[in-house]
Structure 1
Amino acid sequence: MRKIRLTRANKSILMKALGAYYYQRRAINADNKEVGSLILKIDSLPADKKAIFSIEEIRLMRITTNRLRNERLAKGQYTDAADDMLLKLF
């Protein structure tokens, strides 16, 4: 378990990253319970408050945020917000 402070920008990045991952897994009929519950948990949290996340939740946030960052880099888009979120997770 680890406490992480989520700003509005970081919540937005996480929701975008997790949402894309959720719908990708849904398209191939994979189990999405873990992703869906994490999306609901993050959405219900107030901004700028510390929240406790399990190791598995943090791992999933890292994977999806890094995937979003790499997609943006491949397109030549701005990635500072995703980089900031990844730093908070490490």
Structure 2
Amino acid sequence: MRNTKKIKLTRANKIILISALGDYYYQQRVVNTGWRETGYLILKVDSLPVGKKSVFTIEEIHLARTAVNQLRNKKIQQGQYTDATDDMLLKLF
């Protein structure tokens, strides 16, 4: 259990994470690298019950952080608020 972390996802955070991973997945498909791992993580997050702690590996957390941070940067460039995305990033740390 040393290389894992328990994270409790709210409904809003789950939606943000799936959205961020979806965008990241399609970008990876274009360059044909790492998209399988992202696809598996999307399926895992989608099947998780809301409000219960779930175990994620360090690799999954790193992938999720990268995807959510990319979504956050995209929103900043578009001049949108990032409060919900920032909250999701804090959950991943």
Is the shorter-chain TM-score for this pair beyond 0.5, marking a shared fold?
Answer: yes
Aligned runs of 1:24-63 on 2, under 5 Å? 24-63=27-66
1:30, distance to aligned residue in structure 2 (A): 2.3
1:32, distance to aligned residue in structure 2 (A): 1.5
Cα RMSD of the aligned pairs, angstroms, is 0.8
Partner SS, residue 47 of structure 1:
coil
Match of 2:69 in 1: 66
In the alignment, structure 2 segments of 5+ residues that lack a partner are: none
1:78, distance to aligned residue in structure 2 (A): 1.4
Give the whole-Å Cα distance in 1 for the aligned partners of 2:57 and 2:87. 20
Give the whole-Å Cα distance in 2 for the aligned partners of 1:61 and 1:4. 12
Match of 1:88 in 2: 91
| TM-score, scaled relative to structure 2 | 0.93
| TM-score, scaled relative to structure 1 | 0.96
Number of residue pairs aligned between Structure 1 and Structure 2: 90
Give the whole-Å Cα distance in 2 for the aligned partners of 1:31 and 1:43. 19
Give the whole-Å Cα distance in 1 for the aligned partners of 2:33 and 2:68. 19
In the alignment, structure 1 segments of 5+ residues that lack a partner are: none
